[in-house]
Structure 1
Amino acid sequence: MKPLISPGGRVLGWGWVAAVALLLFDLALRGSGASSLVAGAVLLITVGVAYVLWLRPRVVPTAEGVRLVNPLRDTFVPWSEFTWADVTDVLRVHAGERVFRSWPLRENRRANVRENLRRAGDGPAPLLDTGADADPRSMRPVDLAARRLREEAERRKADPANRVAAAADPAEGAGPSDPAAPAEDAAPHGPVTVWAPDALGALGAPVFLLVVVLLLV
């Protein structure tokens, strides 16, 4: 199952990165002095913000569980602990009594959010039937993502042999774009939430650069 992302966020993120690249190129050609260095550092900070808010967040189903990649932290929920996925204002993953929210997969229409929250307030029974027989072509993207996670969890739990075979491929669910992936080889027994070094670095490095520039000018 492929990672679940927000296409709109990706477009915004890469669009801003492209705009900043042009601005930095213009600064390199025309800029001079301390003000150009400060402006360049500030632009790099905005690239870090775009990465953290728009490019990094995703939901990654893997052989061992589902990873919620949020702006600054990652949460890994093993399939053995996964009990449900639903949508209120965002996609949520349930692990028993614990509920984890996904940053990128959101419901944008207020009427739908109110209806989802009402269902959530009524208890689990209505949620269990929501969209069970719906045509995937007619479902909203976030609801379809929640349904696919439920189906993946059911498949993984029902086929232990398939789960073991998938776990033998260390590349599944990880890659250069996911450097903060938890160590799934350790097979955690419950949900784990960790700070993401790449996100902290993307914000911290340009801020440090700006501080250095301000101290030197």
Structure 2
Amino acid sequence: MDRGESTTHASTSSRVLALVWVVIAALLLVDVFLRGEGRSAWIATAVLVASIAGVYLMWLRPRVVSTPRGLRVINPVRETFVPWAAVVWVDVTDVLRVHTPGGIVRSWPLRETKRAKVRENLRRDSGLADEPDDDADPARQRPVDVVASQLRRDAERHKARPLSGPIRDVAEAGPAALGAEDEPQTMVPVEVIVVLALTALFVVGALVLA
């Protein structure tokens, strides 16, 4: 990744399953529109629309983006921007974690799915096991560990040649990064508020009409 590029990390399997459901739900909506009648049709429509919004927020939207200015940790409702200067370490327990001087930022989409590995990671985090020395051998790493290693390398590279000044362009590193300097910032993006509000209005309206 060069100085002008961003790299997105997300759960491919979760996104594929989410897209499959969105397609199925859309086809069911068409069927309800063409053949549904009365109260049951309105209720079915409300449930399908709510499920599409939920799948979008929980499985399609979440991701971690490595930008030239820092990390965007995008979770279902909140987004946290962590400037490179505030990235102390990146590791994995049950999820990928970004350590900062003010605390730990957890990533919703990037997870360790193997239970034995989660237990091993939690033991290591509690000081009951030694740290693995496998950064140099990606073949020994689990997929989310590979991402953590990549993000640690990104942090080292960008800290060595930091970009200075406040962030004023939302396209540069996301909405939570606006005005950020050396401290993480967290916000609920307008996108999430709009999706939740429109979904709630639609569901309430459909139930009233039913």
| TM-score bracket for this pair, using the shorter chain length | 0.7 to 0.9
The root-mean-square deviation of aligned C-alpha atoms, in Å, is: 2.4
The aligned counterpart of 2:121 is 116
Is residue 197 of structure 2 the alignment partner of residue 216 of structure 1?
A: no
Instruction: Choose from 52, 56, 59 the match for 1:54.
Output: 59
Contact 1:51 1:202 in 2 (8 A): no
The aligned counterpart of 1:186 is 179
The aligned counterpart of 1:137 is 139
The aligned counterpart of 2:148 is 146
* Alignment partners' CA distance in 2, 1:131 and 1:168: 38
1:1-217 equivalent positions in 2, closer than 5 A: 1-96=6-101, 98-122=103-127, 126-127=130-131, 130-133=133-136, 135-160=137-162, 163=163, 171-173=171-173, 181-182=175-176, 184-217=177-210
Identity of aligned residues (%): 45
- Worse overlay, 110-119 or 198-207: 198-207
Runs of 5+ consecutive residues of structure 2 not aligned to the other structure: 1-5
Q: C-alpha offsets along residues 128-187 of structure 1, whole Å, 9 cap, x if unaligned? A: x64232x22332110000001100000001123xx36xx79974555xxxxxx32x3513
Tell me the TM-score normalised to structure 1 length: 0.84
The aligned counterpart of 2:3 is none
Question: SS where residue 86 of structure 1 aligns?
Answer: strand
- Worse overlay, 34-43 or 2-11: 34-43
Question: SS where residue 27 of structure 1 aligns?
Answer: helix
* Alignment partners' CA distance in 1, 2:191 and 2:86: 27
Tell me the TM-score normalised to structure 2 length: 0.87
Report the number of matched residues.
Answer: 204
Aligned AA (1:20): A
Aligned AA (2:25): V
How has the CA–CA distance of structure 1 residues 196 and 185 changed in structure 2, closer, same or farther, with 3 Å as cutoff?
A: closer
